[in-house]
């Protein structure tokens, strides 16, 4: 298993180009199952989750071609992917794939809408929480699907197709909103989704579905109205910039006291994060295709944050902000309201000298003067990158083990940070 070695304490200065958004690319790729035509996506990030989803789509019978080369065996490195799902030969999403990447369960809605059946593994829990599928299941049932759970699989059938329904989600769920948007696009009649997620990745999916011929209104609001159509067609579409990667590198600049220009992105995608960073003492200057961020002063101030659905502060940026707050000249209360167990990075940050006390869903971070490098262990994608950020600011050497989590969602992380002056390298172990 690879690890990452960082010699910290250097301000980062330079430019980082932001990749396409993993969390947008995944549902956009799944939308290929809704049409017999070819869907071509550009600005795709080269991260492990994309390869895992290609494997799943090919397992369903899709043909995926990346930059002209067959990607069926994985191991592709292009940015433009064409997927053709004319012949769906298998409607099962196996445990081995879905347990690695929960987004695999998004195939349920499209398969039901197009083929009338799907057998999808329950994703199971993960480090950050139990992550149930009840919202996906009950909403698809309201549209006429019959779903039973047997042997760890959701076995779903809609022999007469799906029918539009008025659905009110009891909790805001990004995945359930995406699954239902895709299912409703090919259903009979009108579906209304209330308390829908408003994340920019939902807007990206609506824009793609519309380009494929879907009739959807309300993106960016909590009420989506979908008039089902008989068929969707192929299109070409560019994946939006990764707002979590954007926020992560913004914090890299601030935590090291450097100055980084982020390109191929927009400040408006992570306004809540930039507001918190400005309050902590960051300077932000918007540019034509991104922004420049630096720290104004020798330290940052303590700022409280609470994670919330968009446009609130994103849970996927909680761990990174906590890393920053460990070095604040005061205290910060960090409250996690989306996932029940998303403080796995706390004991690891403590190994670097952070002073953090967890009370239920809140963590009180009392800033310390310095962090000192140590061996630490990555537990999930965003927790891992918070350890990278802390390691960049810590004195001496930090070794982060189990970095396969990072590879799921950050493209060429070491290369991008090294280009800004970080002393960072990957250690390959067999």
* DSSP H or E stretch at residue 280: helix 271-280
**Taking contact as CB under 6 A, which single stretch among the options 113-121, 125-133, 265-273, 290-298 is the one that binds ligand UD1?**
125-133
**Taking contact as CB under 6 A, which single stretch among the options 31-39, 159-167, 173-181, 248-256 is the one that binds ligand UD1?**
173-181
Q: For residue 18, what is the DSSP state?
A: P
**Taking contact as CB under 6 A, which single stretch among the options 134-142, 272-280, 349-357, 416-424 is the one that binds ligand UD1?**
134-142
Cα gap 281→151, rounded to integer Å = 52
The count of C-alpha atoms lying within 13 angstroms of the C-alpha of 278, restricted to the half-sphere facing its C-beta, is 12
Cis peptide before 128 (omega within 30 of 0): no
Residues 8, 394 contacting (CB under 8 angstroms): yes
SS3 category, 374: coil
**Taking contact as CB under 6 A, which single stretch among the options 130-138, 234-242, 246-254, 287-295 is the one that binds ligand UD1?**
130-138
Distances (CA, A) of 152 to 30, 121, 144, 149, 249: 22, 6, 22, 6, 38
Q: Is 126 a catalytic residue?
A: yes
Q: In the set 54, 133, 226, 323, which binds ligand UD1 (CB under 6 A)?
A: 133
For ligand UD1, the closer of residues 9 and 237 by Cβ is 237
For ligand UD1, the closer of residues 191 and 315 by Cβ is 315
Q: In the set 153, 237, 339, 410, which binds ligand UD1 (CB under 6 A)?
A: 339
Set 58, 76, 126, 420: catalytic member: 126
Least Å distance, CB 24 to ligand UD1, is 8
Q: In the set 73, 124, 125, 132, which binds ligand UD1 (CB under 6 A)?
A: 132
Query: Is there binding between residue 175 and ligand UD1 (CB under 6 A)?
Result: yes
If one counts every other C-beta atom within 10 angstroms of the C-beta of residue 237, the result is: 20
Query: Is there binding between residue 149 and ligand UD1 (CB under 6 A)?
Result: no
Least Å distance, CB 22 to ligand UD1, is 7
**Which residues are within 8 A (CB) of 178 and not within 5 positions of it... i.e. 6 or more apart?**
27, 30, 106, 109, 197, 201, 202, 205
Site for ligand UD1 in 253-292 (CB under 6 A): none
Q: In the set 26, 156, 205, 277, which binds ligand UD1 (CB under 6 A)?
A: 26
Backbone angles phi, psi at 76, to 5 degrees: -95, 155
Question: Could you give the dihedral angle defined by the CA atoms of residues 227, 231, 236 and 238, in that order, rounded to the nearest 10 degrees?
Answer: 30
Query: Is there binding between residue 248 and ligand UD1 (CB under 6 A)?
Result: no
**Taking contact as CB under 6 A, which single stretch among the options 92-100, 174-182, 257-265, 289-297 is the one that binds ligand UD1?**
174-182
Least Å distance, CB 104 to ligand UD1, is 10
Query: Is there binding between residue 176 and ligand UD1 (CB under 6 A)?
Result: yes
Question: Could you give the dihedral angle defined by the CA atoms of residues 235, 240, 244 and 248, in that order, rounded to the nearest 10 degrees?
Answer: 130
Query: Is there binding between residue 30 and ligand UD1 (CB under 6 A)?
Result: no
DSSP 225-259: EEE--S----EEEEPPB-HHHHHHHHHHHHHHT-E
Query: Is there binding between residue 129 and ligand UD1 (CB under 6 A)?
Result: yes
**Taking contact as CB under 6 A, which single stretch among the options 128-136, 146-154, 213-221, 268-276 is the one that binds ligand UD1?**
128-136
Distances (CA, A) of 211 to 72, 216, 227, 412: 26, 11, 15, 31
Query: Is there binding between residue 124 and ligand UD1 (CB under 6 A)?
Result: no
Compose the 179-218 pattern: x for residues touching ligand UD1 by CB under 6 A, - for all others. ----------------------x-----------------
Query: Is there binding between residue 99 and ligand UD1 (CB under 6 A)?
Result: no
For ligand UD1, the closer of residues 132 and 189 by Cβ is 132
**Which residues are within 8 A (CB) of 243 and not within 5 positions of it... i.e. 6 or more apart?**
21, 200, 265, 269, 270, 314
Cα gap 422→218, rounded to integer Å = 43
Q: In the set 19, 55, 121, 173, which binds ligand UD1 (CB under 6 A)?
A: 173
Least Å distance, CB 160 to ligand UD1, is 24
For residue 241, list its beta bridge partners: 20
Residues interacting with ligand UD1, by CB under 6 A?
23, 26, 102-103, 129, 131-136, 171, 173-176, 201, 315-316, 338-339
Just list the catalytic residues: 126
């Amino acid at each position: 298993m690879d690890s990452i070695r960082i010699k910290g304490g250097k301000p980062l200065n330079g430019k980082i180009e932001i990749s396409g958004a993993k969390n947008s690319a995944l549902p956009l790729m799944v939308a290929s199952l809704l049409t017999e035509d070819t869907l071509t996506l550009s600005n795709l990030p080269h991260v492990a989750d994309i390869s895992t989803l290609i494997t799943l789509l090919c397992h369903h019978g899709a043909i995926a071609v990346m930059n002209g080369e067959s990607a069926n065996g994985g191991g592709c490195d292009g940015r433009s992917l064409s997927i053709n799902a004319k012949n769906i030969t298998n409607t099962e999403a196996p445990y081995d794939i879905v347990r690695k990447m929960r987004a695999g369960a998004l195939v349920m809605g499209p398969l039901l809408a197009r083929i009338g059946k799907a057998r999808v593994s329950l994703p199971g829990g993960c480090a950050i929480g139990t992550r149930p599928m009840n919202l996906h299941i009950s909403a698809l049932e309201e549209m006429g699907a019959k779903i039973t759970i047997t042997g760890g699989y959701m076995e779903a059938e809609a022999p007469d197709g799906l029918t539009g329904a008025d659905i009110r989600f009891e909790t805001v769920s990004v995945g359930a909103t995406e699954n239902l948007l895709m299912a409703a696009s090919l259903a009979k009649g009108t579906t209304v989704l209330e308390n829908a997620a408003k994340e920019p990745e939902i807007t990206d999916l609506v824009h793609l579905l519309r380009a494929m011929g879907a009739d959807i209104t309300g993106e960016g609001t909590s009420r989506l109205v979908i008039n089902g159509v008989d068929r969707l067609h192929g299109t070409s579409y560019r994946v939006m910039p990764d707002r979590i990667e954007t926020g992560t590198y913004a914090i890299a600049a601030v935590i090291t006291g450097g100055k980084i220009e982020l390109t191929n992105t927009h400040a408006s995608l992570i306004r809540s994060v930039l507001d918190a960073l400005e309050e902590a003492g960051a300077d932000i200057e918007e540019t034509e295709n991104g922004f420049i961020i630096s720290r104004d002063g020798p330290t940052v101030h303590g700022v409280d944050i609470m994670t919330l659905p968009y446009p609130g502060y994103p849970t996927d940026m909680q761990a990174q902000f906590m890393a920053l707050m460990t070095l604040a000249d005061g205290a910060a209360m960090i409250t996690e309201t989306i996932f029940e167990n998303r403080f796995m990075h706390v004991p690891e940050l403590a190994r670097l000298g952070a002073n953090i006390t967890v009370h239920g869903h809140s963590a009180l971070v009392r800033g310390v003067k310095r962090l000192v490098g140590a061996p630490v262990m990555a537990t999930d994608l965003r927790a891992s990158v918070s350890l990278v950020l802390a390691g960049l600011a810590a004195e001496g050497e930090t070794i982060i083990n189990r970095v396969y989590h990072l590879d799921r969602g950050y493209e060429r992380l070491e290369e991008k940070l090294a280009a800004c002056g970080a002393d960072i390298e990957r250690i390959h172990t067999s």
